[in-house]
């Protein structure tokens, strides 16, 4: 009780958090896991240091002191290792277990610090009346090591430093107690130096601890931010999905009657009525396409758009796509030039989705070409890929438009949406579909001359057949 009150007070004074019940169990767990992670990682590091100390003790002091202290330290290391392994396997997130592990780590710390203390005290006594250069530096090294590597659990660090402080004071005062020298003697100088070094070590520990705590907070903030972003993304997807589905029902009721009337099923209407109904019909189709595009985009974003990969002959696909735009070509009196479509080039892909991309790229080329212009569709092989090129004779895309072309709801000039039609989603969807094929889609454009879109589809996908 006193211990936790004292450490809490110290923590408050130092501006750090050291409560036994941090904001969440995951936070507490994180500290314990980080602590033992460091402990396990530096296991052999520590063994090398202990062995070095053992060799020095045996060579310069006494074989017995060296051996006994070494064995006690190894025992404490074994205990620590056992605790660390238990914590590493711990996964029930139970606060009770966390407190148990805290106590085990504290016990291990007392054991290990006392073992080091045994060594320091034995060497100090063996040295008799001297400056105790070796035990003091050993203690300094041990304290600095603790400050650097075991600061994750505040209480444990303080426990260790308190034991080390007691040892420092013992070593520094043992000569003073025995010889009672005047304040001007070198023994007192050593004593004050030890106090200074102790202050330095505490200061170091606090710096490391604050750094660690800042990291923990940052990680926690990042985690929260990620959770928020994920939730927002999910909400957006769900919203889009619900809205899209809810829109489909009324559109069925709008398109249905229009189709029936325009199709002449319900008898003839005057030309003016027919013309107006065709406008309404065209726009309800546009709305239906927009909903389809929104759903596709959402599915692509969520990685849920199912792709059915099979062998696709690109020359057949392109010819089919050209044929499907026939009416549109005739409306705009555009002549279409085919280059290299006589040879079949086979890739691995989803035929329906590739058709969707081609329909989109082709209709864009026709849409942005001037009346009576030429659109060229070419197919060839470049390196290890098939390349489709669609050249239009439109007004071109201004420099810096690249992001906009493939962005959602974007046409270079927003008035295009009205003058040229389209939802502004086609290119964005096309790009995602091509990326799912490990391909690329890009363009080159000359203002006032036209634009050529290149799509490449790698043959390496064939390996997946």
Interaction site with other proteins (CB under 8 A): 245-246, 248-257, 259-260, 263, 265-266, 288, 292, 295, 299, 304-306
Least distance from other proteins to the Cβ atom of residue 244, Å: 8
Least distance from other proteins to the Cβ atom of residue 337, Å: 33
For the chain, state the CA radius of gyration: 39
Nearer to other proteins, 260 or 462 (CB): 260
Q: How far is CA 195 from each of CA 22, 125, 136, 172, 318, rounded to the nearest angstrom? A: 33, 20, 12, 9, 85
Least distance from other proteins to the Cβ atom of residue 252, Å: 4
CA end-to-end distance (rounded Å), the chain: 68
Nearer to other proteins, 182 or 263 (CB): 263
Q: What gap in Å lies between CA 113 and CA 164, rounded to an integer?
A: 7
Q: What gap in Å lies between CA 387 and CA 345, rounded to an integer?
A: 10
Collect all residues with Cβ–Cβ distance below 8 Å to 152 and sequence separation of at least 6.
31, 32, 34, 35, 38, 212
Least distance from other proteins to the Cβ atom of residue 239, Å: 15
Nearer to other proteins, 304 or 418 (CB): 304
In the structure encoding, which two tokens stand for residue 215, read together?
A: 């990291």
Q: Name the H helices within 369-443.
A: 402-405, 416-419, 426-436
Nearer to other proteins, 294 or 397 (CB): 294
Least distance from other proteins to the Cβ atom of residue 305, Å: 7
Least distance from other proteins to the Cβ atom of residue 263, Å: 5
Nearer to other proteins, 288 or 417 (CB): 288
CA atoms within 13 A on the CB side of 363: 19
Angle between helices 154-179 and 2-14 (to 10 degrees): 100
Q: What gap in Å lies between CA 451 and CA 390, rounded to an integer?
A: 8
């Amino acid at each position: 009780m006193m211990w936790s009150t004292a450490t809490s007070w110290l923590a408050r004074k130092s501006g750090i958090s050291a409560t036994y019940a941090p904001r969440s169990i995951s936070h507490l767990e994180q500290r314990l896991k980080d602590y033992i992670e460091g402990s396990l990682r530096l296991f052999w590091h520590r063994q090398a240091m202990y062995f070095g100390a053992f060799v020095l003790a045996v060579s310069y002091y006494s074989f017995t002191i060296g051996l006994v202290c070494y064995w006690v330290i190894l025992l404490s290391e074994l205990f620590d290792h056992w605790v660390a392994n238990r914590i590493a396997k711990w996964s029930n997130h139970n606060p009770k277990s966390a407190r148990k592990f805290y106590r085990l780590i504290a016990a291990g710390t007392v054991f290990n610090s006392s073992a080091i203390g045994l060594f320091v005290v034995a060497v100090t006594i063996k040295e008799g009346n001297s400056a105790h250069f070796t035990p003091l530096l050993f203690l300094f090294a041990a304290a600095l090591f603790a400050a650097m590597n075991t600061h994750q659990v505040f209480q444990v660090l303080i426990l260790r430093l308190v034991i080390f402080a007691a040892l420092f004071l013992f070593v520094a005062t043992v000569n003073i107690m025995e010889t009672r020298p005047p304040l001007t003697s070198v023994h007192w100088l050593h004593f004050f130096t030890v106090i200074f070094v102790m202050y330095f070590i505490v200061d170091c520990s606090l710096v490391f601890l604050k750094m660690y705590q800042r990291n923990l907070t940052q990680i926690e903030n990042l985690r929260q931010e990620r959770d928020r972003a994920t939730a927002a993304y999910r909400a957006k997807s769900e919203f889009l999905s619900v809205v899209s589905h809810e829109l489909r029902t009324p559109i069925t009721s709008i398109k249905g009657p229009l189709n029936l009337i325009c199709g002449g099923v319900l008898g003839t209407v005057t030309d003016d009525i027919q013309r107006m109904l065709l406008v309404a019909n065209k726009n309800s189709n546009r709305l239906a396409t927009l909903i389809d595009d929104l759903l596709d985009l959402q599915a692509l974003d969520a990685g849920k758009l199912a792709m059915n990969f099979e062998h696709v002959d690109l020359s057949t696909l392109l010819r089919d796509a050209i044929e499907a735009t026939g009416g549109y070509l005739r409306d705009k009196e555009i002549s279409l030039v085919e280059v290299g479509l006589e040879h079949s080039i086979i890739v691995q892909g989803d035929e329906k989705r590739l058709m969707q991309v081609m329909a989109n790229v082709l209709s864009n080329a026709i849409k942005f070409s001037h009346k009576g212009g030429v659109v060229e569709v070419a197919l060839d092989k470049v390196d290890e890929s098939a390349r489709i090129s669609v050249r239009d004779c439109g007004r071109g895309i201004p420099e810096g438009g690249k992001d906009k072309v493939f962005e959602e709801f974007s046409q270079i000039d927003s008035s295009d949406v009205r003058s040229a039609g389209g939802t502004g989603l086609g290119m964005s969807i096309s790009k995602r579909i091509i990326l799912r094929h490990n391909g690329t889609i890009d363009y080159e454009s000359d203002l006032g001359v036209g634009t050529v879109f290149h799509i490449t589809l790698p043959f390496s996908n064939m390996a997946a057949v």
